[in-house]
Amino acid sequence: MLMEKKEILNRRSEYVEDLFKDDRSKKPKIKEKIEGPTILKEEVEAAVKKMKNGKATGPDNIPVEIIKALDNLGIDMTTRLLNAIYDSGPIPEDLCKSVFIVLPETLGATECKLHRTISLMSHFTKILLRVLMHRMRKSMRPEISPK
């Protein structure tokens, strides 16, 4: 059992890295730019409305309440930001960062596997992912049998 704080932090860091490592031998290369429809203000608005208030912020420390409080301006600015990202291709490094929090599942848990690891990411990342997820669900529904 590890007793030193530094050793514990190193072990948890190793555990999280192993948990989220990419096992693919080769990452697929995208040879051509795949274009999709522009992200609409309505899509961003729907994604923001589904987000709950009072949730922890990601590395950017911007709570969803600020985006909501800015109302149309917040939706417009977020839509422009997400379209700039969507049009350029790669997601900026800042939006790819997450803060990992380790919570014990049981009282006195000492093993990493007995802890719940949660990831806090930027609300802008969550909005982009919600928009893309909604689009994928819409396009896949007709392809999937109801049974």
- When the pLDDT of each residue in the chain is averaged and rounded to a whole number, the result is 88
Helix (H, G, I), strand (E, B) or coil at 59: coil
What are the tokens at 76? Answer: 């417009």
* Whether the predicted model's global pTM rises above the 0.85 cut: no
Q: How do residues 65-86 score in pLDDT, each as one tens digit?
A: 999 999 999 999 999 999 999 8
Average pLDDT over residues 83-108: 87
Residue 147 has pLDDT above 70, yes or no: no
Nearest CA to 19 out of 133, 91, 102 is that of: 102
Amino acid at the residue 35:
E
Average pLDDT over residues 79-102: 90
Q: How do residues 51-61 score in pLDDT, each as one tens digit?
A: 999 999 999 99
Beta partners for 99?
120
* pLDDT in the model for residue 14: 87
Contact 58, 123 (CB under 8 A): yes
Integer Cα distance of 6 and 65 in angstroms = 35
